[in-house]
Structure 1
């Protein structure tokens, strides 16, 4: 499981179901590292590609990605549930196949209303439930003491390597926006760039490459920044901007879809259209040079973030899964067995 919001959400679901007394199993490829603490049973399949014979029975078999849906559906069609954290037909090459994985008579749980709208647009179906993700307010919260002002502004950015298939995260757009900012912003700034897969760089831009190992370290980076920037083309929900808002950091984000679940331009974020480096640069410059705007975004951002917590997500997702199971089969005594697969 890579270090990413989608994988983290799956672990939270599995751990929550395990804590509720359900027999829970996580199925992953043999070579995948376990980046998060998993409290339930973890099964590594002996091959790099998931196939139906390696999927154990579960009253619920939860699939998270279009590539894992077909083997799960072939193995246990009556037990399958799709957990949609990103609408793959928007960016994968085999678009028709990705649409097919949503077109079957299988319950879909979406993490935002925007995702539900994409589902309806492409398939004519609606989600069985919409369950927004959430952050931990015990980890992601404002600093106890105001950060002292300084001449060099800090811009925080999470980079994903476009060469590894993450073009939709907008790294090239961010690089171009920083080149524009160098020409239009009179003050000094430095980019703190969190690299997930590789050591990307920003040629000609003052920057530091950082690799936080825990959520608490990431929260510290949010709190130390003057602005957090997100440049995604598509996000099913988008946890990082929400985490930054919870830490009291002003956010400049593209309208990547799922962020609309909690983000509103001019109220709690500065929002621009995707794939527009000029607009991104102008948004960052406005936040860095307009103290009244910054304070407004910080105040509203902190308030909005409290509506999207991990506890609320866990409670809602468990309720959704249990409701799906109750509607499918007659009530049974004893524990239920829950299966999860990720690839």
Structure 2
């Protein structure tokens, strides 16, 4: 069966959920025999390559570009070019102009892999908000696709553009359980990102403080933030909350394998990758009801899905979990593992390959 050459354009140093998704799905496509490549902007290139050594092992090229003029020839050698962030949409669009100056009939087609609804990142009507809002229409004739129904729906509601749905994925070579491990006491962990308000760092600390006060025998832990970042943000952790700091990609699942409950108290999640990755490690997540977590989370069965605007609702979920007997908690963990097992890189890569073949075969 004929395949297509695909290049994802990702101006990022990696490490975030969207970058992990793009990197691992490019590798998934490569395993299927697809000519898959990545293009990363020059300031982030070295960090990105260092963060994903598996790309080299699978011979997935990670190309560097300083500007549109450098990106253009990379694009010209591919059949389908995929933007992955609102910034990359503008990079790709400018590079297309440069490419068509050299080859007006270049047979390159375009897509936008929508990772989040990025206007929500910025103050309404700010310059950054305006660019993010425009990004869905800037790349003319591009096909948009996303990993959650929520993302498809919100783009259509705000822009009238149909977005195709693909499968989400997690890396089961990295995220897997240790069923032999038993904690002496329950462990509840959360990720803190003070620089990202929508991830609700102050709410998370407030909730963890309340849990620590009510359940002194529960081990409370956080990761994703340095002590310096906490100081700058004016956040003080309760004395009985351990901070693991900024963890490397391989260290996060190791923590999750030793965690019973993971708190994602974000305002919303376009998908909520860390919650699903926690489930794959045997950890029960608390995730926001707003957004795309319905792709995997079923309240009370494999996760707790809450309105994160309500402290009472969050704490009720924690109380329910802490009060469970061992058998009930083990069944919930089993359900979480079975759910996470459905989200494979191969399934995601195949769903994207279908999209890329449609794009490559389209007229114009």
TM-score tier (shorter): 0.7 to 0.9
Give the CA deviation at 1:65: 0.7
Secondary structure of 2:362's partner? helix
User: Is the Cα–Cα contact under 8 Å of residues 24 and 171 in structure 2 kept in the other structure?
Assistant: no
Query: 1:258: how far off?
Result: 1.4
SS in 1 for 2:269: coil
Q: Is contact 1:168-1:233 (8 Å) kept? A: yes
Matched, 1:271 2:330: no
1:92 is aligned to: 122
The 3 A distance-change label for structure 1 pair 225 and 19 is closer
Q: How large is the Cα RMSD of the aligned pairs? A: 2.5
| Residue 131 of structure 2 is aligned to residue 111 of structure 1 | no
Deviation by residue 1:130-172 (Cα, 9 ceiling, x = unmatched): 113222334433323251543xx3211122223xxx1111111
1:120 maps onto 2:149 in alignment: no
What SS is found at the alignment partner of 2:221? strand
| Matching residue within 320, 328, 337 for 1:302 | 337
Structure with the largest fraction of helix: 2
The secondary structure found in structure 2 opposite 1:2 is coil
Count of paired positions = 318
Shift of 1:80: 2.1
Residue 195 of structure 1 corresponds to which residue in structure 2?
A: 224
Q: Label 1:316 to 1:196 Cα distance change in 2 as closer, same or farther (>3 A).
A: farther
CA contact (8 A) 1:52 1:72 kept: no
CA deviations over 1:91-120 (Å, ceiling 9, x no partner): 224333322221354201101111001111
Q: Is 1:207 matched with 2:232?
A: no
**Measured at CA, do residues 75 and 8 of structure 1 come closer, stay the same or move farther in structure 2, by a change above 3 Å?**
same
Query: How far, CA to CA, are the matches of 1:16 and 1:186 in structure 2?
Result: 43
Aligned residue in 1 for 2:43: 31
Q: Partners in 1 of 2:144 and 2:355 — Cα distance?
A: 10
Residues 1:63 and 2:113 aligned together: no
- Distance change in 2, residues 1:198/1:234 (3 Å): farther
- Ranges in structure 1 where 5+ consecutive residues have no aligned partner: 330-343
Q: CA deviation at 1:280?
A: 2.2
> Residues 293, 16 of structure 1: CA spacing in aligned structure 2 closer, same or farther, 3 A cutoff?
closer
Q: Partner residue of 2:10?
A: none
TM-score w.r.t. the length of structure 2 is 0.78
Q: Distance in 1 between matches of 2:52 and 2:23?
A: 7
Distance 1:156 1:121, change over 3 A: same
Matches within 5 A, 1:1-343: 1-32=13-44, 33-34=47-48, 35-37=51-53, 38-39=55-56, 40-46=60-66, 50-51=67-68, 54-55=71-72, 56=74, 57=76, 58-76=78-96, 79-93=109-123, 94-103=128-137, 104-127=140-163, 129-150=164-185, 153-162=186-195, 166-183=196-213, 185-195=214-224, 200-201=229-230, 202-210=236-244, 211-215=246-250, 217-291=251-325, 294-328=329-363
Query: Counterpart in 2 of 1:341?
Result: none
Task: Find the aligned partners of 2:68 and 2:143 in 1 and give their Cα distance.
Answer: 21
Give the whole-Å Cα distance in 2 for the aligned partners of 1:186 and 1:14.
Answer: 43
> Gaps (5+ residues) in structure 2?
1-12, 98-107, 231-235
CA gap of 1:315–1:156, structure 2 versus 1, over 3 A, is same
C-alpha distance 2-136 of structure 1, shift in aligned 2 (>3 A) = closer
8 Å Cα contact 1:112/1:130 also seen in 2: yes
Higher-RCO chain (CA-CA 8 Å, sequence separation at least 6): 1
1:73 Cα deviation (Å)?
2.0
